[in-house]
Amino acid sequence: MFGVYLKYAREHVRKFWMVQNMRTLGMLMVMFSVLYSIGFIFTTLLDRGFVGALDNVLIMWGIIFALLAAMIIGSIVIKHRQTTLLMNKLEHSRHSKNIGIFLIAIVAGAVLFSLPATLFPQQATLIILFSLGGIMLLVYLALALVFGHGYVEVGAAAFFLWAVFIIGVFTIGQMSYSNPPLFNALSLIVSTTAIVIVFAMTGVLILYRASGEFLPEFRKAYRIK
């Protein structure tokens, strides 16, 4: 898609890296969808009518995002370790440098795209679609630019999240001033539904494609026609 990916590595290392990336991305996106669904359920239980119990709701979401952060960091560390075990010294050095560049770009971009939600807290339940869409687009571009291989599913996920955000702005955006409780309820339902569906479907598609990439290698190794 973007030329030879991981140009500094040997062919078997490149193939292993690509499949590992797909498995990790797919798993993380499915888990994000599951945890976000749990967060939505507990939000409706703890915050009846979307007023009151704010401290409990914030604590609950803080725990969920802490779990997500731990999963993401742990997955990256494990995947990086598994990949570098196959690399020689030169490949390892170059790959570690690129991983550092990738992580710096993702962290900086995540902070940047999260700012709108903190600057406009009244509309945060809708703006989160913009923030997550921007982060997904950044992941897609960073993988493509740093490693030479982007996953089209991730780019499509960013597009759909932004599309729902734009539709939401034009349909229920004005309610944030005229009827804040109704806006909070509708925007939370819309954003949660979009996030859960988009992340779950994207994760499943990536995992399915990962299995498809593995199958030819399996057949080749065991000489299966």
Over the stretch 44-99, which tens digit does the pLDDT of each residue have? 776 655 455 566 667 777 788 888 888 888 888 888 888 888 898 888 888 888 88
Q: Which two tokens stand for residue 163?
A: 């599309």
Report the pLDDT value the prediction gives residue 54, as an integer from 0 to 100.
60
Q: By the 8 A CB rule, do 7 and 146 touch?
A: no
Report the pLDDT value the prediction gives residue 81, as an integer from 0 to 100.
86
Q: By the 8 A CB rule, do 194 and 125 touch?
A: no
pLDDT at 213 over 90: no
Report the pLDDT value the prediction gives residue 17, as an integer from 0 to 100.
85
Q: Which two tokens stand for residue 13?
A: 């290392």
Percent of the chain with pLDDT over 90: 31
Report the pLDDT value the prediction gives residue 1, as an integer from 0 to 100.
46
pTM above 0.95, yes or no: no
Q: By the 8 A CB rule, do 160 and 198 touch?
A: yes
Exposure string over 172-211, b if 16+ CB within 10 A, otherwise e: bbebbeeeeeebbbbbbebbbebbbebbbbbbebbbebbe
Q: What are phi and psi of 134, to 5 degrees?
A: -65, -40
Rounded-to-integer distance, Cα 136 and Cα 50, Å:
28
Q: By the 8 A CB rule, do 133 and 156 touch?
A: no
Write out pLDDT tens, residues 121-173: 888 889 999 999 999 999 999 988 888 887 899 999 999 999 999 999 999 98
